[in-house]
């Protein structure tokens, strides 16, 4: 194989984890942690007479910009289950505070109908019957009873609402996950393609961006573990196949 003098590189590509396309990725970096031992030159002149370097870990970090349900589970060592559209009838709440959110059990579909009843099943109007101010306000997370409402502190109420379709993520309940990673890459400088196969990637919980002013770009780091099933002469960590 003839070697070119200069091969410049700007990379782009698609990354698959366990065969799943994880979406738009801003980066993919493979790095090494090295334990370096040296034998100093004690005979004058400085420097070392010997050096030994051992790879202590092989690391892969991926910048993820697509915060879909599966990627959020990956970032938070979580599990994901689907939520079907349903209706909740007469969920019981106690007005423990005024002008504070009363969290309901599920998520409220704010485009649907939400009703409040007293414990005696008397409908609570949305607006005060005397001055027309709100008796309650509705958000996706729950109900707020303002000061001046006909609903009073410590009242028991019942809330009925629709739940939108979605997903439920339970964070930090699925530690120890690992899988293969395939990076189907392209050198944007010359149009040459390459494929990187990583046999065993064990990602670490990273967290998430809940509020921000820029598009989310979360880097998830993990270690490439040794695949002892690979025979002699075959990398136990990863390989690169590339166009010449």
Residues 224, 204: contact at Cβ < 8 Å? no
Residues 92, 160, single domain; the answer is yes
- Residue 132: domain span: 85-164
> For position 4, what pLDDT does the model report?
72
The answer to the question of residue 4 being in a domain is no
Q: Please report where in the chains the tokens 């959110």 appear, as a residue.
A: 101
Burial 24-60 (b: 16+ CB within 10 A, else e): ebeebebeeeeeeeeeeeeeeeeeeeeeeeeeeebeb
Classify residue 211 by burial, with Cβ atoms within 10 Å: 0-12, 13-18, 19+: exposed
The answer to the question of residue 5 being in a domain is no
Mean pLDDT of each 10-residue bin along the chain, 244 residues long: 82 97 97 97 95 97 96 96 97 97 98 96 96 97 97 97 97 94 97 97 92 94 96 96 94
**Which one of 133, 164, 195 terminates a domain?**
164
Residue 141's nearest CA partner among 182, 197, 188, 103 is 103
**Which one of 164, 197, 223 terminates a domain?**
164
The answer to the question of residue 140 being in a domain is yes
The answer to the question of residue 42 being in a domain is yes
Q: According to DSSP H, which parts of the chain are helical?
A: 69-75
Euclidean distance between CA atoms 96 and 129, whole angstroms: 23
The answer to the question of residue 1 being in a domain is no
Domain count, the chain: 2
Residues 19, 140, single domain; the answer is no
Euclidean distance between CA atoms 193 and 15, whole angstroms: 14
What DSSP designation does 75 have? Answer: H
Classify residue 92 by burial, with Cβ atoms within 10 Å: 0-12, 13-18, 19+: exposed
Residues 26, 147, single domain; the answer is no
Residues 97, 140, single domain; the answer is yes
Domain CATH code at residue 212? 2.30.110
Which residues, in sequence order, are bridge partners of residue 239? 197
> For position 5, what pLDDT does the model report?
84
The answer to the question of residue 6 being in a domain is no
**Which one of 164, 193, 218 terminates a domain?**
164
The structure tokens listed for 197 are 């196969």
> For position 1, what pLDDT does the model report?
60
Residues 94, 159, single domain; the answer is yes
The answer to the question of residue 23 being in a domain is yes
């Amino acid at each position: 194989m003839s070697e070119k003098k200069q091969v410049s590189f700007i990379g782009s590509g698609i990354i698959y984890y366990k065969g799943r396309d994880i979406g738009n990725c801003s980066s993919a970096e493979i790095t090494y942690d090295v334990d370096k031992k040296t034998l100093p030159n004690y005979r004058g002149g400085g420097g070392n007479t010997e050096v030994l370097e051992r790879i202590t870990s092989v690391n892969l970090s991926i910048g993820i910009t697509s915060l879909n349900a599966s990627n959020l589970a990956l970032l938070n060592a979580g599990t994901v289950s689907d939520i079907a559209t349903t209706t909740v009838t007469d969920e019981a709440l106690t007005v423990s505070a005024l002008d504070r959110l009363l969290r309901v059990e599920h998520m409220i579909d704010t485009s649907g109908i939400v009703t409040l009843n007293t414990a005696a099943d008397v409908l609570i109007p949305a607006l005060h019957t005397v001055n027309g101010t709100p008796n309650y306000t509705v958000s996706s997370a729950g109900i707020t009873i303002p000061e001046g409402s006909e609903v009073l502190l410590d009242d028991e109420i019942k809330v009925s609402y629709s739940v939108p379709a979605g997903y439920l993520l339970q964070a930090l309940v699925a530690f120890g996950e690992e899988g293969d990673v395939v990076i189907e890459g392209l050198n944007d400088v010359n149009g040459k393609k390459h494929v990187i196969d990583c046999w065993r990637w064990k990602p670490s919980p990273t967290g998430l961006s809940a509020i921000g002013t820029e598009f989310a770009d979360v880097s998830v780091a993990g270690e490439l573990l040794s695949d002892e099933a690979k025979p002699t002469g075959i990398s136990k960590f990863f390989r690169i196949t590339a166009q010449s």
